[in-house]
Structure 1
Amino acid sequence: MASVVRLLILAALWGGSFLFMRVAANPLGPGVLIEARVGLAAVTLLLLALYLKKAIQFWQYKRHFLILGVFNTALPFVLIAYAAQTLNASTLSILNSTAPIWGALIGAVWTRTPLTRSVLLGLALGVLGVTVLVGKEANLVGTDAILPMIASVSAAFCYGISTNYTKVAPKLEAFNNAHGSMWAATLLMLPLAFLIPVREAVTTEVAVSVLALGVLSTGVAYLIFFRLVTDIGPSPTLSVTFLIPAFGIFWGYLFLDEPVGWNTLIGTILVVLGTVKVTGFSFKKTVAAVQQSE
């Protein structure tokens, strides 16, 4: 039961990240927002590292952390923040959930593995889901939605690159990977934060959103993620991918009065089904792993 609760909390926190970025992206701009996000997360993880007496060998693995900082943190975060200036939270969360599909496809190209019928079917379902979502959203927002949607899908593509890189990267503890990559991302985002100034006065709502985004949806969420990987394994933890869009849609509807149209629901279902097919995810094995961890 404890693992199920952690899984739901993690999905709620990561689903909430799109809400927080939607609130803060326009007033702060992508550069300042993401610098604040990764900086707060880095400090949060540093304090926890000190409390848990965990050492980090940053300079020894600086190239590794910089790669993770680019493809797993800085680049996808700033792309999503750019998209959040235009797209609603539910659309952002659904497009982001295509990351496992990209990860599987990049892995197939990387290892030169032929794509199976199941993977091809999953890809077709994922593309169809995104098309349903994008087509309707473009009608609502107009052509201004095209680049933000490309940016959001590109962020998911970055996560796919990062997932495959970690398979051949130095085998460090997951906490160290997160901690080191957050500091690397903080350094990488610093110039952009100065180049794109804050656009509006920071309100209480924006400040709270940034704090929640950095501390809860990034720092604390990573810790829960690591605990789940340890308790139930990496594959069952992947089930959080299927829960994030539900929370993204729910938070957007609850706090921002975002409409939940037929395209949102159908697009979500198609993307989730596509992800299941592409990754070969098994819900039965996930349930068994969760029950075994209790």
Structure 2
Amino acid sequence: MRRSSAAVLLGCGALFGLSYVLVRDVVPVAGPVGVTVARTFIGGAALLLAARAAGQRPQWRRWRAYLVLGALSAAVPFSLISISMLSLNAGTAAVLNASSPLFALGFDVLERRRRPDTGQLVGLVLAIAGVSVAMAARGLHISDGGAVGVLAGLAGAAVFAYGGFFAARRFDGEAPAALAAGQQLAGCTLLCPALLVFPFHATPTASLLLRLVVLGVAGSAVAYLLFYRLIAIEGPARAANVNLLVPMFGVLWGWALLDEPIPPLSIAGMAATAAGVLLVLRHRPAAG
């Protein structure tokens, strides 16, 4: 992976990691659907302004494809992740989300009709083991209804992974800002009717709105702008490895913003995760 791509991967992982901390904070008040509608609307609006300033526009004539992408990469995975956090703590949800690169590898194998590289598999196993150790040191917790939370977390990871392949196939060549804007706004459009059934759990306050704005701009707008740029440069399978970095950055954001301690075992787990990611990124996929 190029150094520029590695920098984009790190930035994307840091922003997605921040979104986990923010979702954990607001989902009990706003609800899974409310959080997802708010972050996609705010993120999509910010991206649309940025795209227009750069002279780019989403290809709205392909609105059906945008709706599918919005479902795969925003509405469905965001909602499933939020649902999982109703019965799982952030650490457990992050471990489940780290399975996304494994799903992406499976989709890549099916699409290219080739076996995965041994080094890539070893790197993925090492990275996921590191994520598990890092999160276990901070405590993994599953409350009542945890089976639903686990299934929701795994399903969200799988849907998110497939969304990258759909974007690469159907939107090849589209500017990342325009693509991300269309994806976010499509996801918001799909979920807005659900607010009639699953409204906000409480009246929004200024503090809640501020946190949702940060989540929408950082965790949706900028993060997805980087993510789609990474897909365009490196492909969807390699871009999915960003999910291996999310838990590590989640721990670091928790320490920086919430003064949460980082146990020594978490540091060891993060080191293993970093080593696994480096091994994966050193892998050169065969032409297919």
Q: TM-score, normalised by structure 2?
A: 0.78
Q: Could you tell me how far 1:102 is from its partner in structure 2?
A: 1.4
Instruction: Give the direction of change, closer, same or farther, for the CA distance of 1:15–1:282 in structure 2 (3 Å limit).
Output: same
Q: Aligned residue for 2:198?
A: 196
Q: Aligned residue for 1:29?
A: 31
Q: Could you tell me which amino acid in structure 1 is paired with residue 33 of structure 2?
A: G
Q: Could you tell me how far 1:272 is from its partner in structure 2?
A: 5.5
Contact 1:95–1:130 at 8 Å: present in 2 too? no
Instruction: Give the direction of change, closer, same or farther, for the CA distance of 1:29–1:87 in structure 2 (3 Å limit).
Output: same
Kindly report which structure 2 residues correspond to 1:230-241, keeping only aligned pairs within 5 A, or say none: 233-234=233-234, 240-241=242-243
Residue 43 of structure 2 aligns to a residue in which SS? helix
1:70-91 deviation per Cα after TM superposition (whole angstroms, max 9, x unaligned)? 1111111111111233434344
Kindly report which structure 2 residues correspond to 1:83-98, keeping only aligned pairs within 5 A, or say none: 83-98=84-99
Residue 201 of structure 1 aligns to a residue in which SS? coil
Q: Could you tell me how far 1:25 is from its partner in structure 2?
A: 0.4
Kindly report which structure 2 residues correspond to 1:1-294, keeping only aligned pairs within 5 A, or say none: 8-59=10-61, 61-122=62-123, 124-125=125-126, 128=129, 140-173=141-174, 174-225=176-227, 233-234=233-234, 240-256=242-258, 258=260, 260=262, 264=266, 268=270, 280-282=280-282
Q: Percent identity?
A: 27
Q: Could you tell me how far 1:4 is from its partner in structure 2?
A: 7.6
1: CA distance, partners of 2:6 / 2:161: 25
Q: Aligned residue for 1:289?
A: none
Q: Could you tell me which amino acid in structure 1 is paired with residue 82 of structure 2?
A: A
Instruction: Give the direction of change, closer, same or farther, for the CA distance of 1:191–1:145 in structure 2 (3 Å limit).
Output: same
Q: Could you tell me which amino acid in structure 2 is paired with residue 282 of structure 1?
A: R
Q: Could you tell me how far 1:29 is from its partner in structure 2?
A: 0.5
1:72-120 deviation per Cα after TM superposition (whole angstroms, max 9, x unaligned)? 1111111111123343434434432332221011211233323443455
Contact 1:26–1:85 at 8 Å: present in 2 too? yes
Instruction: Give the direction of change, closer, same or farther, for the CA distance of 1:73–1:243 in structure 2 (3 Å limit).
Output: same
Q: Could you tell me how far 1:147 is from its partner in structure 2?
A: 2.6
Q: Could you tell me which amino acid in structure 1 is paired with residue 44 of structure 2?
A: A
Contact 2:87–2:144 at 8 Å: present in 1 too? no
2: CA distance, partners of 1:20 / 1:40: 14
Aligned length: 279
> What are the ranges of 5 or more consecutive residues in structure 1 without an aligned counterpart?
286-294
1:20-65 deviation per Cα after TM superposition (whole angstroms, max 9, x unaligned)? 1011101011011100110111111121223222222212x12221
Q: TM-score, normalised by structure 1?
A: 0.77
Q: Could you tell me which amino acid in structure 1 is paired with residue 252 of structure 2?
A: F
Contact 2:40–2:187 at 8 Å: present in 1 too? yes
Residue 245 of structure 1 aligns to a residue in which SS? helix
Q: Could you tell me which amino acid in structure 2 is paired with residue 171 of structure 1?
A: D
1:187-213 deviation per Cα after TM superposition (whole angstroms, max 9, x unaligned)? 111122221121123334322211101
> What are the ranges of 5 or more consecutive residues in structure 2 without an aligned counterpart?
none
Instruction: Give the direction of change, closer, same or farther, for the CA distance of 1:212–1:223 in structure 2 (3 Å limit).
Output: same
Residue 56 of structure 1 aligns to a residue in which SS? coil
